[in-house]
Amino acid sequence: MKPGSVAIVGAGPGDPELITLKAVYRIQEAEVILYDRLVNEELLNYAKPDAVLIYCGKSPGNHSMPQRKIEQYMVRYAREGKKVVRLKGGDPFVFGRGGEEALAMAEAGIAYEVVPGITSAIGAAASAGIPLTHRGLAASFTIVTGSRCSDHESPVQWDQLVRSSDTIVVYMGISQFSEIREQLLLHGKSGLTPVAVIENGTTTRQRTLTGTLNNIEKLLSATKIGNPALIIIGEVVKVREQLLKIEVEARSQIG
């Protein structure tokens, strides 16, 4: 039997046009595709008509398939000689458990490769007009996951982030935002620090809400923004407002 293989593929942040060519090629070649909740299903149109499609998405508090089971499927189909694609939103090595899956393939002796994708922090921020670094405002950014806020064994070191990072980007942080805000203020962030929340970034359903640490929580409650959403904290959020102002002025001059 011809040996199978696994490609752990990043599908990008949501807009189907932001997937890489290499990722498209792997989808086209695949005989089995295990795909996540945040993968734009339009990308499955690249698959062969007879490809086996397996949904294994996760949402807060609702995992359709345990991680261990996903890895077992990857190993099983590869051992059957299939070309397997594990299709993941964003980049597979940024809060995507792609590293765990690569380790599982290596331990099972399965040939595998990792195909990078545009991670949501970069894609959604750019789509909302927010540069994560900007001369004079931010020379560094840090990506953290809000899901670790409730992890008492390995908590986010907010005190260190406040001191060392100009821009803080939080994945999966909407439900923990009250705690995140409290920690940032406790460790020295000003209540006037700009904040942006981007829902469904890079897609046609994108919504972007901006405010400050002082008022963003009330704004979130009023607008009902929910997951998937990205939180950006830092002075770079002001660039979005500058861009919008310039665009409005340009349109008024044309009009």
Catalytic machinery residues: 36, 58, 172
Measured distance CA(244)–CA(208) in Å, rounded: 12
**Single-letter amino acid code for the residue at 237:** V
**Taking a C-beta distance cutoff of 8 angstroms, is the pair 8, 104 a contact?**
no
Quickly tell me which residue has 């008509």 as its tokens: 49
First to last CA, the chain: 68
Q: Tell me the helices (H) and strands (E) count for the chain, helix number first.
A: 8, 12
Q: Give the whole-angstrom CA distance, residue 81 versus residue 90.
A: 27
Q: What DSSP string describes 162-221?
A: HHH-SEEEEES-GGGHHHHHHHHHHTT--TT-EEEEEESTTSTT-EEEEEETTTHHHHHH
